[in-house]
């Protein structure tokens, strides 16, 4: 990502900050898995968005007073002994090249610097933190821990959530961000085509996943946006199935939901196909209904439309189709076969931050992913593409990935007919 774009993001944040305010973002730290082994590190996405740096144990502080803002990045001190074990920490020069931040200090100085900023505001500082929480029992984040410390030590300071500012910025992607998503989609396309080359009856789900892993590693991708779903037969009716350890029998469909990444920007693609390269008539009926729902939903994407309105279109197409097939008699029965939303925002997170009720704007990237799940018939079908909202409508960013019945049968079925 161009450093000028990173700097522009911080400038936009500074413009939103009121006088006498301090913004603090943490990159995160490595977490212990067991004994002395660590989980792979993944940076806080808001920190990464404003700095372009993916290293652990860093703190960004932006202070604003009298309409003048200063920014400081706090780094780990170099440690020659630790470097022999885990490598050198990021230097000020390296950090500046990535972020454009010119003022640096060390982590052991940052609390004193924060305190000085609070005093400069006569103790009336507004402290902004990334306070997003998904679930009640999630572990307490570094930002939440710091919020508690601030409120206990500086009674006259006020803690606020910086999330709305960051959400507003991240929902609309720049051309450079869209290009990163396109790169991720290209690698996803490569992974799916490799999987299709190795698809045949009797293959294990994890064997297909291994081909996905090979493509990821061959492109230097160490962290996938999410755990891939490789589901054969009835397993595909479980939305977030991730065991990926069953044999896929002749005649079954395979649902693969996978995403690659490029500089942490995610793709999110789903394709469903017959393991033997030939849809049965029943499978084709259901598949083409899902494909029709996806097509008509994508055609409705444009500025001003909401995700709920898109979901209503999906539900209308699926309900009408299931009535024609005799599977339901009333629209209210659709929930038996379709029980998720059709779209979400996409970006640095697979389910990117964004207001689901907000009208779409040019530059937003969303998924469109209708599905039908019939456990009694061991049929689970979902088709998902990544779509850019343009000034006049939409652009399907993943249009190069085949999804028509004839195309899938040609790609997969050729080797099962020789």
A 10 A CB-CB count for 240 gives: 10
User: Which one from 9, 10, 211, 382 is the annotated catalytic residue?
Assistant: 382
Location of structure tokens 């005093």: 119
User: Which one from 177, 205, 349, 369 is the annotated catalytic residue?
Assistant: 369
Q: Is 103 a catalytic residue?
A: no
User: Which one from 33, 222, 240, 282 is the annotated catalytic residue?
Assistant: 240
Burial class from Cβ neighbours inside 10 Å (0-12, 13-18, 19+) for residue 66 reads exposed
Q: Is 241 a catalytic residue?
A: no
Residues forming a β-bridge with 389: 394
Q: Is 93 a catalytic residue?
A: no
User: Which one from 234, 271, 344, 345 is the annotated catalytic residue?
Assistant: 344
Looking from the CA of 148 toward its CB, the CA atoms found within 13 Å total: 5
Q: 69, 74, 56: which is closest to 11 by C-alpha?
A: 69
Q: Is 234 a catalytic residue?
A: no
Q: Is 122 a catalytic residue?
A: no
Q: Is 351 a catalytic residue?
A: yes
User: Which one from 189, 384, 386, 409 is the annotated catalytic residue?
Assistant: 384
User: Which one from 29, 198, 222, 340 is the annotated catalytic residue?
Assistant: 340
Location of structure tokens 């307490």: 140
Q: Is 219 a catalytic residue?
A: no
| Pairwise CA distance, residues 317 & 305, whole Å | 18
User: Which one from 257, 294, 385, 386 is the annotated catalytic residue?
Assistant: 257
Q: Is 268 a catalytic residue?
A: yes
Name the H helices within 64-174. Answer: 80-86, 92-99, 110-120, 142-153, 163-171
Find all residues with CB under 8 Å of 172, minimum gap 6, and list them.
361, 362, 363, 364
Contacts by 189-197, CB closer than 8 A, 24 or more apart = 189/269, 189/398, 189/400, 189/401, 190/215, 191/215, 191/216, 191/258, 191/260, 192/256, 192/258, 192/269, 192/271, 192/401, 193/411, 195/256, 196/273, 196/408, 196/411, 196/412
Q: Helix, strand, or coil here: 325? A: coil
User: Which one from 36, 80, 93, 137 is the annotated catalytic residue?
Assistant: 36
Q: Is 211 a catalytic residue?
A: no
For strands 104-106 and 261-262, give the pairing. unpaired
**CA of 105: how far to CAs of 70, 71, 111, 276, in Å?**
13, 11, 11, 60
Contact between residue 232 and residue 252 where contact means Cβ atoms under 8 Å apart: yes
User: Which one from 49, 264, 287, 373 is the annotated catalytic residue?
Assistant: 373
User: Which one from 268, 349, 386, 409 is the annotated catalytic residue?
Assistant: 268
Q: Is 395 a catalytic residue?
A: no
Burial class from Cβ neighbours inside 10 Å (0-12, 13-18, 19+) for residue 213 reads middle
Q: Is 382 a catalytic residue?
A: yes
As given in the structure block, the two tokens for residue 252 are 């079954």
User: Which one from 320, 351, 377, 395 is the annotated catalytic residue?
Assistant: 351
Residue 51, φ and ψ in degrees, nearest 5: -130, -25
Any idea what DSSP says for residue 375? G
- Give the CA-trace dihedral at 218, 224, 225, 227, to 10 degrees: 130
Report the catalytic residues: 36, 240, 257, 268, 340, 344, 351, 369, 373, 382, 384
């Amino acid at each position: 990502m161009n450093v000028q774009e990173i700097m522009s993001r911080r400038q936009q944040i500074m413009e939103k900050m009121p006088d006498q305010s301090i913004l603090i973002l943490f990159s995160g730290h490595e977490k212990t898995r067991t004994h002395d082994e660590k989980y792979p590190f993944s940076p806080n996405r808001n920190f990464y968005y404003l700095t372009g740096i993916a290293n652990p144990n860093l703190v960004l502080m932006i202070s604003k007073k009298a309409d003048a803002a200063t920014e400081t990045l706090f780094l780990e001190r170099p440690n020659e002994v630790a470097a022999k074990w885990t490598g050198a920490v990021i230097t000020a020069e390296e950090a500046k090249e990535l972020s454009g931040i010119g003022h640096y200090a060390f982590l052991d100085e940052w609390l004193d610097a924060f305190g000085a900023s609070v005093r400069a505001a006569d103790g009336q500082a507004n402290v902004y933190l990334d306070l997003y929480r998904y679930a009640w029992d999630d572990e307490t984040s570094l930002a939440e821990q710091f919020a508690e410390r601030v409120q206990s030590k500086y009674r006259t300071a006020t803690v606020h959530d910086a999330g709305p500012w960051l959400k507003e910025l991240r929902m609309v992607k720049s051309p450079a961000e869209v290009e990163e998503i396109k790169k991720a989609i290209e690698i996803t396309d490569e992974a799916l085509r490799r999987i299709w080359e190795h698809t045949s009856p009797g293959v294990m789900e994890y064997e297909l996943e291994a081909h996905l892993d090979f493509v990821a590693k061959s492109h230097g991708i160490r962290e996938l946006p999410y755990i891939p779903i490789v589901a054969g037969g009835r397993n595909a009716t479980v939305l977030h199935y991730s065991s990926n350890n069953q044999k896929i029998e002749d005649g079954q469909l395979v649902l693969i939901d996978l995403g690659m990444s490029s500089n942490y920007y995610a793709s999110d693609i789903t394709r469903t196909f017959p393991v033997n390269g030939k849809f049965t008539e029943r499978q084709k009926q259901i598949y083409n209904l899902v494909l029709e729902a996806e097509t008509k939903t994508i055609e409705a994407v444009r500025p001003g439309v909401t995700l709920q309105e898109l979901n209503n279109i999906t539900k209308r197409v699926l309900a009408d189709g299931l009535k024609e097939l005799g599977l339901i008699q009333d629209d209210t029965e659709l929930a038996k076969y379709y029980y998720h939303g059709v779209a979400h925002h996409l970006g640095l997170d697979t389910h990117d931050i964004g207001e689901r009720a907000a009208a779409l704007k040019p530059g937003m990237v969303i998924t469109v992913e209708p599905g039908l799940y019939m456990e009694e018939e061991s049929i689970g079908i979902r088709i998902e593409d990544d779509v850019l909202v343009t000034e006049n409508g939409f652009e399907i960013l993943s249009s190069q990935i085949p999804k028509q019945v004839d195309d899938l049968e040609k790609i997969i079925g050729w080797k099962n007919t020789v």
